[in-house]
Amino acid sequence: MKKRKGVIALLAVALLSLAVMQRYRSTAELRVLYAGENVYAMFLVTARYSCARKTDFQDSVKKIENLTFPLSINHSLIDDYEDFGITEGKKYCSYVIFTNIGTSASFELNYTYRLIGFRNDIGTGRITRIYFVEAQQKFKLPQYDYVIVLDVNLTPNCENIVNGDGTIEIPLGTSCVLRDKWGTEILIPGGG
């Protein structure tokens, strides 16, 4: 009887030990999987640059291929359009890259504005247009199962009032360019 107790205790200790080591190992292994994300990031910031400057993505990638070696791009799907009107407008870029090792990463840029009203300043008689502006960049790396979302600040180049709630007021009849710090621009036309 005593013998059996001893064996059970021994087994319990061994199992606990295995459990502890297993847990330790699995958390440690998870971390190593992130290796290489900086190379994907290099591709994605290049995509953002191409989107901002409207340059050819393949040419830009060629300029950095000695940095990203041995990872390279097999093919990429690029969607890039802009449409700016008085009541609403949009700048959209989507770059999905497929690498030589079968992984994929993507960059998406979505800047929109929408006219939500006018404001008449009774004191000065000045009329401003109020726009609701949204600007986001999304990055998807193969190492993560979620998308990294970046809210972007846009700087207007015209006379303006920026409100804290995501709206901007610009004078009636003046066009305005909103620019992010990487050079991507959206244009709100002045109209007639």
Partner 1 sequence: MRGVIATLVAFIVLYTLAYTYPSPKTNTFATLKEERNLETIATWIMFRASCNDVDSYLEAVNASTPLPNAPTGAILLWCNDTPVVRGFSWSP
Q: How far is the CB of 81 from partner 1 (least distance, A)?
A: 21
Residue with tokens 């979505």: 110
Q: CB-wise, 95 or 139, nearer to partner 1? A: 139
Per rule CB under 8 A, is residue 178 in the interface with partner 1? no
Q: How far is the CB of 41 from partner 1 (least distance, A)?
A: 4
Contact 131, 116 (CB under 8 A): yes
Distance between CA atoms of 140 and 64, rounded to whole angstroms? 20
Distance between CA atoms of 186 and 32, rounded to whole angstroms? 40
Q: Work out the number of other CB atoms within 10 angstroms of the CB of residue 61.
A: 19
Number of residues engaging partner 1 in binding (CB under 8 A) = 40
Per rule CB under 8 A, is residue 118 in the interface with partner 1? no
- Reading the block at residue 191, the tokens are 């109209």
Distance between CA atoms of 117 and 34, rounded to whole angstroms? 47
Q: CB-wise, 5 or 122, nearer to partner 1? A: 5
- Interface with partner 1 by CB under 8 A: which residues? 3, 6-7, 9-10, 13-14, 16-17, 20-21, 24, 28, 31-32, 34-38, 40-42, 44-46, 49, 53, 55, 60, 63-64, 67, 137, 139, 141, 148, 150, 181-182
